Amino acid sequence: MEMEIVRTNNDQSETAKNKNEVVISIKGLKKSFGEKDVLKDINLELKRGENIVVLGRSGTGKSVTIQCIVGLLKQDAGSLTVFGDEVADMDDKQLKELRIKIGFLFQSGALYDSMTVRENLEFPLTRVLKLTDQAEIDKRVEEALDGVGLLEAIDKMPSDLSGGMRKRAGLARTIIVNPEIILYDEPTTGLDPITSREISDLILSIQKKYKTSSIIITHDMECARIAADRMMIMDNGEFIAEGTFESLHKSNNKIVASFFKDIL
């Protein structure tokens, strides 16, 4: 299918103009499971400092793409590089290093229920970065929690937190190892509209503060409006359109328009 590229004069944002380094490059990616061709021809370039929102109907291949990026799945054909290195060729040591550079925020926030918020945040510092200096660990835990506005909950258990607070804690645990790239899988799912908005604002402020590059998979159009520098629409294993929120909003493509049907 021909990709529809919708652009407006505003597309050359500061981000696009100044930061042309490509951090993730995906070319002609294909992945099948048995008879089912899930990824047919995925092409994407994530630039340094950029937030890309990926929209797509259920079962269209978004999660499979993310799993290829972190090396949990291997493509059948095509190329996928992160900072110039082909992920499919990486050995276990290189994959470990890759997964430190790429933070991943799961839908649930993925906190350990039996640990306090503090212990949840210490975990990647001691287990992944192998830090041992308790003063440094405390400082980083407090800074990360402060960055997501959750310092007061440091000694709480996850079960004592609201859904929005759990997301914040999950986000703090993602940023604490200073990832250069963050992959968000449905970051606002299950939250009320006001809390969703707060999380979307936080995703934007993390991009600015930590200079991260992100791919955000979401069905939440408000999240897309707030956090996306660029949006890409996936359908049936391919991207069929890309552009800013405003430019895609004007698209006549039926699939693209279906995502914007409730947007004024």
Ligand X SMILES: Nc1ncnc2c1ncn2[C@@H]1O[C@H](COP(=O)(O)OP(=O)(O)OP(=O)(O)O)[C@@H](O)[C@H]1O
Interface residues toward ligand X, by CB under 6 A: 33, 38, 56, 58-64
Task: State the minimum distance, in angstroms, from the CB of residue 88 to ligand X.
Answer: 16
Termini Cα distance of the chain: 29
C-beta of 19 vs 40, nearer to ligand X: 40
Are the C-beta atoms of 213 and 50 separated by less than 8 Å? yes
Are the C-beta atoms of 179 and 212 separated by less than 8 Å? yes
Task: State the minimum distance, in angstroms, from the CB of residue 21 to ligand X.
Answer: 27
C-beta of 69 vs 248, nearer to ligand X: 69
Give the C-alpha separation, 187 to 219, whole Å. Answer: 10
Task: State the minimum distance, in angstroms, from the CB of residue 107 to ligand X.
Answer: 9
C-beta of 60 vs 251, nearer to ligand X: 60
C-beta of 49 vs 56, nearer to ligand X: 56
Task: State the minimum distance, in angstroms, from the CB of residue 255 to ligand X.
Answer: 13
Are the C-beta atoms of 199 and 187 separated by less than 8 Å? yes
Task: State the minimum distance, in angstroms, from the CB of residue 232 to ligand X.
Answer: 13
Give the C-alpha separation, 176 to 123, whole Å. Answer: 10
Which of these, 195, 118, 192, lies nearest to 157 by C-alpha position?
118
Count CB-CB contacts under 10 A for residue 211.
11
Q: What is the DSSP string of 219-254?
A: S-HHHHHHH-SEEEEEETTEEEEEE-HHHHHT---H
C-beta of 81 vs 236, nearer to ligand X: 236
